[in-house]
Amino acid sequence: AKTLRLVLGDQLSRNLSSLKDAEPGRDVIVMAELSDEATYVRHHVKKIAFVLSAMRHFAADLAGDGFEVDYRRLDEDDVSITSFTDALEAAVARHTPERIIVTEAAEWRVLSMQEAWKDRFDIPVEIRPDDRFIATHAEFARWAEDRKSLRMEFFYRRMRTRTGYLMDDGEPAGGQWNYDAENRAPPKEGLSFPDRPDWSVDETTRAVLDLVASRFDDHFGDLEPFAYPVTRRQATHYLNWFVDHALADFGTFQDAMVQGEALMFHSHLSALINIGLLDPRECCDRAEAAWREGRVPLNAAEGFIRQIIGWREFIRGVYWLHMPAYADENALDARRDLPDWFWTGETHMNCLRQAITETRQNAYAHHIQRLMVIGNFALLAGLDPKQVQEWFLIVYHDAYEWVEMPNVVGMALYADGGLFASKPYASSGAYINRMSDYCGNCRYAVTKKNGPKACPFNYLYWNFLIDNRERLSGNQRMGMMFGTLDRMGDEKRRAVREDSERFLAAIGDA
């Protein structure tokens, strides 16, 4: 039967469940660049360009294999098509198919649209599970059932056993499940980082860059230089490059930050995996093979595989288990507006200036910049979780709601009251100073605890504990910190309060 198969912008995989049984000559594959999707939040221009270019290349590959691809470009005249539903309706009218097949959307908002198609069209609409993810929704829900709190580590062990990654005779390779303790080295003096592969911009990408420049010139971010993979071939090349040149040091320096080094030893693969150009399993296969061949140490391969089969799958599980209420969580009652410098990077706090400037340039920041610099600041300053979510969704090229939201709400802001984080990731300037070389270039002094010259993270940290004393008092892992707080003299407490009030009142000029 003639089938319409709608492929979404983050489903660019030939093994997609909705494409597995597709037949050239019989089926029509529908893809659409939509203004709703490009603007429902004002995405970073590099992110829009990446998605559109990857979509166009993917469609061209399909057409090259003989498929009829009904592809709608954003620059086409028909302004009445703004949503997936519009695009599908138009395609059904054009092709009169006998059925529609889609792969479930990764986001709640879009899956709700897909569910509504079942009533809207008078032909069958089949929604297939997205088997690019390793754990199914049901599997995660079963695992989470009856657990008071969700701990990634236990889920991860289950995923290791289930997938067999880094397992020897049913036991974790090397005798331990997790080598995170070896993955926290601060940056060494003179550490050097490998050069990344580069791609020249082809005609397709050039057309997209021109379109994005003219259409979204008021969105955040630098569009060029643009040097990210946009095809399956480039993406696999980038994965191989990572395994050969960066993975060996990825583990050890996973938490380190170096001024002017946006990528360090990080894989920079998240956007390629999330959009479908790479399969998470193939990334893990390569990393495990490199370890088995003696090319990378175990802490590197384990650290990388844990992020993918552990954190990535776990985060998705949390999202689907708790949506839609999860979007509105605000357990710490944080209400402050985002200061403008979140968009400009113009703050005197060097760590934030670096992280935000790199984000503006690259639509990327690595995990510790996101969590321990930007997220930590947002937590300590009590920034409104909704605004913080929207910021993270806009600025990163790998940001889709299913992965951005739990990372922001649960991990960075503790706004879900500790659903999966055992305590808030709050820390003073000492952590940033230990893990980076940022503080030496900062107007503020990381060694000073109080006064206008002191590192703001230092007093905001104690201010955060004072403000949340009641809310967090039941948390055993906070006991030591609250013990220290309770022993703090009145004068010191007063100084913390005064510094914090002064800082927060003028947060826009920080």
Binding stretches for ligand FAD (CB under 6 A):
266-270, 273-274, 304, 307-308, 311-312, 315, 366-367, 370-371, 375, 392, 396, 398-399, 403-404, 407-408, 411-412
Identity of the residue, 97 or 418, whose beta carbon is nearer to ligand FAD in the bound complex:
418
Residue 260 Cβ vs ligand SF4, minimum distance, rounded to whole Å = 14
CB 99 within 8 A of CB 6: no
CA 49 to chain CA centroid, Å, is 17
Residue 110 Cβ vs ligand SF4, minimum distance, rounded to whole Å = 38
* Burial state string for 240-259 with b = 16 or more CB within 10 A and e = fewer than 16: ebbbeebbbbbbbbbbbbbe
Identity of the residue, 249 or 437, whose beta carbon is nearer to ligand SF4 in the bound complex:
437
265 backbone dihedrals φ, ψ, rounded to 5°: -105, 15
Binding partner selected for residue 460 from ligand SF4, ligand FAD, none, CB under the kind-specific 5 to 8 Å limit: none
CB 77 within 8 A of CB 100: no
Identity of the residue, 458 or 468, whose beta carbon is nearer to ligand SF4 in the bound complex:
458
Under rule CB under 6 A, which residues in 435-464 are in contact with ligand SF4? 438-439, 442, 444, 446, 455-457
Residue 369 Cβ vs ligand FAD, minimum distance, rounded to whole Å = 8
Give dist(CA 404, CA 396) in Å, integer: 9
Alpha helices in 365-446 (DSSP H): 367-368, 376-380, 385-395, 401-405, 429-435
70 backbone dihedrals φ, ψ, rounded to 5°: -95, 100
Binding partner selected for residue 312 from ligand SF4, ligand FAD, none, CB under the kind-specific 5 to 8 Å limit: ligand FAD
Identity of the residue, 6 or 278, whose beta carbon is nearer to ligand FAD in the bound complex:
278
DSSP state of 260: T
Binding partner selected for residue 349 from ligand SF4, ligand FAD, none, CB under the kind-specific 5 to 8 Å limit: ligand SF4
* Burial state string for 321-347 with b = 16 or more CB within 10 A and e = fewer than 16: bbbeebbebebbebeeebbebbbebeb
Give dist(CA 313, CA 15) in Å, integer: 19
Q: Does 381 bind ligand SF4 (CB under 6 A)?
A: no
Q: Does 510 bind ligand SF4 (CB under 6 A)?
A: no
Contact mark string toward ligand SF4, 419..438, x via CB under 6 A: ----------x--xx----x
Report the residue from 349, 393, 426, 465 that binds ligand SF4 according to the rule CB under 6 A.
Answer: 349
Closest among 291, 323, 286, 326 to 308, alpha carbons compared? 286
Identity of the residue, 62 or 379, whose beta carbon is nearer to ligand FAD in the bound complex:
379
Identity of the residue, 256 or 273, whose beta carbon is nearer to ligand FAD in the bound complex:
273
Token output for 244: 């050969």
Residue 439 Cβ vs ligand FAD, minimum distance, rounded to whole Å = 21
Identity of the residue, 57 or 360, whose beta carbon is nearer to ligand SF4 in the bound complex:
360
Alpha helices in 418-489 (DSSP H): 429-435, 456-467, 469-472, 479-487
Residues facing 159 on adjacent strands: none
Identity of the residue, 71 or 457, whose beta carbon is nearer to ligand SF4 in the bound complex:
457
139 backbone dihedrals φ, ψ, rounded to 5°: -65, -45
Binding partner selected for residue 230 from ligand FAD, ligand SF4, none, CB under the kind-specific 5 to 8 Å limit: none
Token output for 405: 């939201």
Binding partner selected for residue 429 from ligand FAD, ligand SF4, none, CB under the kind-specific 5 to 8 Å limit: ligand SF4
Give dist(CA 492, CA 282) in Å, integer: 54
Binding partner selected for residue 347 from ligand SF4, ligand FAD, none, CB under the kind-specific 5 to 8 Å limit: none
Strand, helix or coil for residue 358: helix
Q: Which stretch binds ligand SF4 (CB under 6 A): 101-109, 269-277, 323-331, 347-355?
A: 347-355
Please tell me whether the peptide bond between 324 and the residue prior to it is cis, using omega within 30 degrees of 0.
yes
Alpha helices in 346-384 (DSSP H): 350-362, 367-368, 376-380
Q: Which stretch binds ligand SF4 (CB under 6 A): 44-52, 280-288, 346-354, 469-477?
A: 346-354
CB 165 within 8 A of CB 311: no
Residue 254 Cβ vs ligand FAD, minimum distance, rounded to whole Å = 6
Residues within the interface to ligand SF4 (CB under 6 A): 349-351, 429, 432-433, 438-439, 442, 444, 446, 455-457
